[in-house]
A = this chain, B = another copy of it.
């Protein structure tokens, strides 16, 4: 029972009439201790309600049993799916996962990283605000296993797992053009976000290759990648003169697309007849929208799982080599963009 303080190995040892070392062995190498004493010790642990103190273990071992994921935006289910993938891999390796959320603010991100460093986590996975931030390079210099998720670094100085965003932008636009659209909006921002820049780049590339006039791919920048911003982009779209108004929109993520969809329907537009919509990420809610959303699918859990494997390799394998994993996203066509 509980008599004030939480019991330590010392208390267990005393209760079982053995030495400290033996108790430790029962926990860590049960095979070297005889069945009789093992039982006695286990009973003592149960009686006292002993729980191993992880700080002490960690202090001695020099390393913790946790990974950490610093996500970019907690309001976007996409990142939780990534986290779920990481968690599964962590669980397999018998590690805990620390989940942090920077909310797209660099200073929160840096504060989280500082904390994680103090905790001596085994490795850090991060979808950074800016993958070139100096404090990220510091981590690598320090030797902390680091994997950048859903982004990559220009030089290849750490592992990363990402999707080919340029390609994603291409397939989205190709699809819309195939459906007969010749005036299309790209909705996304701010363009400090690398994903946005590359998806737009892909869109523009293929638009040019198909010989369409650059002016007919209009860029509607947003302040953030949220449902609310999607709605307000919809209003701006509706405000355009009919001749210049696009008949389709490619949104840089699904939250924007859902906001746009809602605003459009609320304003009496028929989707896809008056306005076709393509999103990005293919989150759960995309398929569940009232007009199921066409989206560029990222393998969300896979991304997380692969990243976790990389970070574990870096943490445990002495001749680890940095890798840049690259997944190819694919278009999932649904009702929101079907041919007119």
Contact = CB atoms under 8 A, between A and B. Distances in A.
Interface of A: 2, 6, 49, 51-56, 58-59, 64, 74-75, 77, 80, 83-84, 87, 96, 98-101, 114-115, 117-120, 138, 141-143, 227, 231, 258-259, 261-262, 265-266, 284-285, 288-292
B74 A84 contact: yes
A55 B2 contact: no
A143 B289 contact: no
A96 B111 CA distance: 10
**Shortest beta-carbon contacts, A-B, top 4:** A290-B290, A54-B118, A55-B58, A55-B55
Count of identical protomers in the assembly: 2
Contacts of A120: 53-55
Contacts of A58: 55
A85 to B, nearest CB: 11
Contacts of A64: 55
Nearest to A259: B288
A135 to B, nearest CB: 12
A290 B265 CA distance: 7
A38 to B, nearest CB: 20
A16 B80 CA distance: 45
Given A54-B119, A55-B55, A98 B98 contact: yes
A128 to B, nearest CB: 19
Given A120-B54, A259-B288, A80 B74 contact: yes
B55 A258 contact: no
